[in-house]
Structures are given as structure tokens and as C-alpha cells.
Amino acid sequence: MRPGQEETVRTVIAGRDTLAVQPTGSGKSAIYQAAGLLMPGITVVVSPLIALQKDQMEAINEQPHDARAVTINSTLRAAEMRKTLAAIESGEVEFVLLAPEQLRNQELVEALRRAAPSLLVVDEAHCISEWGHDFRRDYTLLGSVCEALGRPVVLALTATASPVVRRDICEQLGLRDPAVFVRGFDRPNISLRVDTFHSADDKLTSLMSRVRFAEKPGIVYVATRKNAEKVMSALRESGVESLFYHGGLKAAERAEIQNRFMKGEDEQVLVATNAFGMGIDKADIRFVYHFDICDSLDSYYQEVGRAGRDGEPADAVLFYRAEDLGLRRFQGGESKKDRVDLMQRYAELTTCRRAFLLEYFGEPFAGPCGCCDNDATVGADGVRRVVTVE
């Protein structure tokens, strides 16, 4: 097993509530699969996306063991639902994957309770916290649902969570004396940079130039649907084939765009709002550019972390304009003000950016990192040189 997996599994099967914070691609699903197979009773897995549930179900059912996984979601017809519930109660199923919205169904909750689950897995657990990114109100039901299921052991999993989000996850889920494992926030293969602008036109022109000459594929994140379409159009006019993705598109359109980008077809640049990302694991993304500033450091680092998952060098650039902060403060209201202020501090930082981010997430790092724009010097010849780290 990979670092952190075995000790997490051993803690869970010993009966202790656990929160594991590990980067995407580190094998979080293997943790709950191993623990579920080693514990009596069914394993209930709460996952936010139907596509993600299906991927996880197929991965489990392809393994060389007899444990069967099923999904319960809004696409099931009544007859299919009855058949699935019967299979769960008869003991034919080991893993039940569903979205938190499904747990509003009391008939389903009762059927799961009768099956006596030994483990409740909360995937993408940061969704329960208003301090995190991708907050989903239905996740706040899970604390009471856990009690309704007979209080099985709880395993919460997420790729990114600051200390305040970790505390919130534990409190919201009602975890009892939880073991908390945090690993792998540092991504040294991703260079960090902030470019500052006073003019909106200059910012757009700079983005066009960077994207045009950058190694691809890559993602450009924007704050609004309008900007997604605007930036995509500007890229195409500059000769860069690109796509846009936002929550205003129909589900079928979003699925088609995502599939085209994931498969690496002609358009290798995706301009997207934060609607794109959860459950996405494309290994060869070479850059993540933020045309607009994020609403929090949690969101920013989660999105940046989609670059360079193959371990090869990748670039993360924030195109910063102080005037853009107003939009984020307006979108977040009074409850996100502090988070936007932290993003402003990061954007205007003069010290090591990686050290600032890792300190925020509770991972010690002295710096300099040698791979951010602040850990560099400009010599007399005008050449910018990165500081080397022993």
C-alpha cells in the first residue's frame, strides 16, 4: 500500500472514526475498499457525483473478490430501486454508493439500517463545511443519518482541507475521538506564480500570450459563466482551440465537453468555472491558470492541484487584478470575506508562496521552495534566476 494507506485502514478496522486528507491519485478509494472488505456488515459510501459513483462501483466490481458494489441515484426507476434494496437487505451487496440527497429518503435509510452497516464513508468530505470549497447543504444531513444507521464507524475522505475545515468536518459529522491523517499537500513539481495587472485588457492580452505558448493540455479558471465564454472566444480568435464549461450548460453538454477534454481531442484548453473539477483525474495537465482570483485558498489549491498529477513539471499562474476582489466578496457575502482576504494576501505576497500555502494547510515548510516567482532574483544582466535550495 502507499504511504498513509495501511495505518488509516488499520485505524478504521479497529473501530475508530477517521479523517484522511490525501491528494487525489493517492489511493483514497483503496482505503475504504480494504477497510470495508475486512469489516463485517455493508459499507455505505456517500459520494457527490453520479459519474464518480459509477466509476468507483465499476472499479470495485472489477476486482478479483466476491464483494459486490451497487449505486443508488436519481436515475434508478422504481423497480430497479426495489430490486437493489432487496439485494442490500439479503446480504448480496458489500458496498452501497449514493449521493447525500438520496439519504432524505426514509425508506432507503431504514433499509440500510436493517442491513447493519459497519462503515459509513464520506467521500469529498470538505463538502460538509461552509469554510471549504464545493459546499453542499445535503452533506450537513450526514451527522444525523449516521445515528439513524446505528452509528457505524465513520471514515471521512478529502483531498484538500485546511485545519479549520478539518475541525468543521469532524464537528459536523459528530466524529468521536477521530484519528486525523494528513499527507501530501506539497506539490513541488508545480511552479507557483502571480502576475499583477491594473488594466483588464492587459490581463486578457497576457493570458492569451501565455496560453498560446504554453505546453498543453491546460485549464483556465474564471469566476463567472460570462467570462468562461468570453475567454474561450478570445482564445479561439488568437488561434487556440478551446472549450468552455460552466454550470449553466445542460448536463449532456457538460458531459460531452468533459469527455472531449479528458480524452485529449483537438481542443486541449478548457476555460471553466469551479463547476469543473470534482472527480476529475487527468494526469497530464501542464498548466492551471486563474484568470480570476478564487474565493478561498482551499478552492485555489484544489484547482491548482489538478496540474501535473503525472509528476512532471506544471505551471500555476494567478492573473491578479485588485479590482477583481470586489466580485468575489460580492459573490460570497459576509461569510466569505475572510477567505477572500487570505487570497489577497497570497496574491500580494513577497515571500515564498509555497511556504504560505503549506502553512495554511498545516504542513510545516520553511522555504524558500525554489519554484515560485518570489524565490527568484534578477541579476545585473536582467535575467531572473531561481534560488537553489539545498
| Residue 288, phi then psi, degrees to nearest 5 | -130, 115
Among 140, 163, 182, where does a domain finish? 182
Q: Exposure of 254 by Cβ count < 10 A (0-12 exposed, 13-18 middle, 19+ buried)? A: middle
Task: Tell whether 285 and 210 lie within a shared domain.
Answer: yes
H-only helix segments in the chain: 5-13, 28-38, 50-61, 78-89, 106-114, 142-148, 163-173, 200-213, 225-237, 251-262, 297-304, 325-332, 337-347, 353-360
- Residues 101 and 98: their CA atoms lie apart, in Å, by 8
Check which CATH number belongs to the domain holding 244 and give it. 3.40.50.300
C-alpha grid cell for residue 174?
459528530
Task: Tell whether 144 and 244 lie within a shared domain.
Answer: no
Among 67-71, 176-180, 275-279, the minimum mean pLDDT is found in: 275-279
Task: Tell whether 198 and 324 lie within a shared domain.
Answer: yes
Task: Name the β-bridge partners of 71.
Answer: 97
Neighbours of 26 (CB within 10 A): 18
Pairing outcome for strands 384-386 and 376-378: antiparallel
Among 316, 321, 293, 326, smallest CA distance to 196 is for: 321
Task: Tell whether 343 and 212 lie within a shared domain.
Answer: yes
Task: Tell whether 159 and 269 lie within a shared domain.
Answer: no
Query: Is pLDDT larger for residue 112 or for residue 279?
Result: 112
- Residues 18 and 300: their CA atoms lie apart, in Å, by 25
- Residues 95 and 370: their CA atoms lie apart, in Å, by 45
- Residue 328 confidence (pLDDT): 80
Among 182, 217, 243, where does a domain finish? 182
Task: Tell whether 300 and 281 lie within a shared domain.
Answer: yes
Task: Tell whether 248 and 147 lie within a shared domain.
Answer: no
Write the CA distances from 271 to 253, 287, 386, integer angstroms. 14, 12, 30
Task: Tell whether 9 and 154 lie within a shared domain.
Answer: yes
- Residue 335 confidence (pLDDT): 58
Domain count, the chain: 2
> CB–CB of 309/24 below 8 Å?
yes
What is the span of the domain harbouring residue 255?
A: 190-386
Among 120, 155, 182, where does a domain finish? 182
279 Cβ contact list (under 8 Å, min separation 6): 48, 49, 51, 52, 55
Instruction: Please tell me which of 175-184, 214-223, 271-280 the model is most confident about, judged by mean pLDDT.
Output: 214-223
Task: Give the pLDDT band (50/70/90) at residue 17.
Answer: very high
Task: Tell whether 316 and 263 lie within a shared domain.
Answer: yes
Q: pLDDT per residue over 221-275, tens digit each?
A: 999 999 999 999 999 999 999 999 998 989 889 889 988 898 887 789 999 998 8
Task: Tell whether 164 and 206 lie within a shared domain.
Answer: no
Q: pLDDT per residue over 86-139, tens digit each?
A: 999 888 899 999 999 999 999 899 999 999 999 999 999 999 987 767 788 899
Q: pLDDT per residue over 305-364, tens digit each?
A: 899 988 899 999 999 999 988 878 877 665 587 888 999 999 999 999 999 999 998 888
Task: Tell whether 50 and 149 lie within a shared domain.
Answer: yes
- Residue 329 confidence (pLDDT): 80
> CB–CB of 114/107 below 8 Å?
no
For residue 218, the 8-state DSSP code is E
Q: Which long-range contacts link 65-68 to residues 24+ away (Cβ below 8 Å)?
A: 65/37, 67/36, 67/37, 67/94, 67/95, 68/92, 68/93, 68/94, 68/95
Query: Is pLDDT larger for residue 48 or for residue 20?
Result: 20
> For cell 439500517, what's the residue?
113
| Residue 372, phi then psi, degrees to nearest 5 | -130, 165
Task: Tell whether 168 and 200 lie within a shared domain.
Answer: no
Cis-peptide, bond into residue 48, ω within 30° of zero: no
C-alpha grid cell for residue 37?
472488505
3-state secondary structure of 266: coil
